[in-house]
């Protein structure tokens, strides 16, 4: 496995791979890898000749007061996990290399940025869309894999690639969960023991709603109320939102008559967790 820190060195290496006719796969990450990231890497590896993983804690997607300083990091551990999943190149640029003095371009998808996590994190998705666009230009992948865990991010990336005519196949990979149902996240290590126990309420609430949907309940308000009751029963949980929206456009849905995203964000102290399920009506 090669480790590359400089963007220009990466571009040269990618040029060589392209020249040799290799199909390039890409998985962007912020590191502190867990089984969720590793499932993306294995999936990407099965779809390419040269697998590139970026490891960059992108400062522009954190707002002041968020957990940039305490975001967990373990570069040595990440390198060995990446290698075990068949990563060929790990790209770990410095902040200065990605955002040199005078940097000013912003990518904006106003309709997809606004709802859900965009309400409490208004600049977050601009940071995400801009860094992903930069990374897409540097890596020039044929295929890139993102987790369904960050469903709003995935909807944004799909739209960005369509809008800007990028020739990149975007694959959404299923959410990998702990045994009790908690969606794996690098931030889970920051949960205290009580919060960690209670954090299973997110998936319990969402799965319960999904079961009710599958038994015929299609009113969003009913399903949201059911999930809210389960999550709110955990004393440490502070609900940021629970919503049901069109899975692609993220427009609000009062009745689930097309594929829908039921998503939630919940705070446990300083740690904010997100989770979601997709509700897909059966076609008659």
Active site residue ranges? 37
Handedness of CA 280, 122, 242, 172 (dihedral sign): positive
Smallest gap from residue 13 Cβ to ligand AMP (A): 22
Confirm if 275 and 202 have CB atoms less than 8 A apart: yes
CA distance linking residue 215 with residue 32, whole number of Å: 39
Show the binding pattern over residues 86-125: x = contacts ligand AMP (CB under 6 A), - = does not. ----------------------------------------
Closer residue to ligand AMP in complex, CB, 32/213: 32
SS3 96: helix
How far, in Å, CA of 245 to CA of 253, rounded?
A: 5
Cα torsion angle, 68, 74, 76, 77, sign:
negative
Residues 159-178 that bind ligand AMP (CB under 6 A): 173, 175-176
Phi-psi region of 100 (alpha: psi -120 to 50; beta: other; left: phi over 0): beta
Q: Is residue 54 close enough to count as binding ligand AMP by CB under 6 A?
A: no
Helix (H) or strand (E) holding 228: helix 220-232
Q: How far is CA 186 from CA 57, 97, 204, in A?
A: 12, 24, 20
The answer to whether 146 contacts ligand AMP (rule: CB under 6 A) is yes
29 vs 198 by CB, closer to ligand AMP: 29
* Rounded CA separation 94/58 (Å): 10
Question: What binding mask, one character per residue, do residues 198-237 give for ligand AMP by CB under 6 A, x or -?
Answer: ----------------------------------------
Provide the greatest CA pair distance for the chain: 58
| Residue 25 binds ligand AMP (CB under 6 A) | no
Rounded least distance, CB 61 to ligand AMP, Å: 9
Least distance from ligand AMP to the Cβ atom of residue 226, Å: 23
The size of the interface with ligand AMP (CB under 6 A), counted in residues, is 17
Residue 223 CA: distances (Å) to CA of 15, 119, 155, 219: 50, 21, 22, 7
Helix (H) or strand (E) holding 105: none
79 belongs to the binding site for ligand AMP (CB under 6 A): no
150 near ligand AMP (CB under 6 A): yes
Q: Per CB under 6 A, does 36 bind ligand AMP?
A: yes
**Rounded least distance, CB 222 to ligand AMP, Å:** 28
Contact 105, 137 (CB under 8 A): no
Position 40 contacts ligand AMP (CB under 6 A): yes
Does 7 bind ligand AMP (CB under 6 A)? Our answer is no
Q: Does 149 bind ligand AMP (CB under 6 A)?
A: yes
Dist CA 123 CA 116 (whole Å) = 13
Work out how close the CB of 263 gets to ligand AMP at its nearest, in angstroms, rounded to a whole number. 13
37 binds ligand AMP (CB under 6 A): yes
Q: Where do contacts with ligand AMP occur on this chain (CB under 6 A)?
A: 29-30, 36-37, 39-40, 146-147, 149-150, 173, 175-176, 183-186
């Amino acid at each position: 496995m090669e480790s590359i820190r400089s963007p220009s060195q990466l571009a040269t290496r990618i040029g060589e791979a392209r020249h040799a006719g290799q199909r390039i796969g890409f998985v962007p990450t912020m590191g502190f890898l867990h089984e969720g990231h590793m499932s993306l890497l294995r999936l990407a590896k099965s779809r390419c000749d040269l697998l590139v993983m970026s490891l960059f804690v992108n400062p522009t997607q954190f707002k002041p007061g968020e957990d940039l300083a305490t975001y967990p990091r373990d570069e040595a551990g990440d390198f060995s996990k990446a290698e075990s999943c068949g990563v060929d190149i790990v790209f770990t640029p410095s902040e200065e290399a990605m955002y040199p003095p005078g940097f000013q371009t912003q990518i904006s998808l106003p309709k997809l940025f606004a709802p859900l996590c965009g309400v409490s994190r208004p600049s977050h998705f601009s940071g995400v869309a801009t860094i992903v666009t930069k990374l897409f230009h540097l890596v020039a992948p044929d295929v890139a894999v993102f987790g369904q865990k960050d469903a709003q991010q995935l909807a944004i990336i799909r739209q960005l690639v369509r809008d800007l005519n990028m020739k990149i196949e975007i694959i959404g990979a299923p959410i990998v969960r702990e045994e009790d149902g908690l969606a794996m996240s690098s931030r889970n290590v920051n949960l205290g023991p009580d919060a960690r126990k209670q954090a299973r309420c997110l998936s319990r609430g969402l799965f319960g709603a999904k079961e009710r949907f599958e038994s015929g309940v299609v009113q969003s308000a009913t399903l949201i109320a059911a999930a809210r009751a389960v999550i709110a029963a955990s004393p440490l949980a502070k609900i940021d939102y629970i919503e049901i929206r069109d899975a692609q456009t993220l427009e609000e849905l009062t009745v689930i008559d097309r594929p829908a995203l039921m998503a939630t964000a919940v705070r446990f102290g300083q740690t904010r967790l997100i989770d979601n399920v997709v509700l897909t009506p059966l076609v008659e």
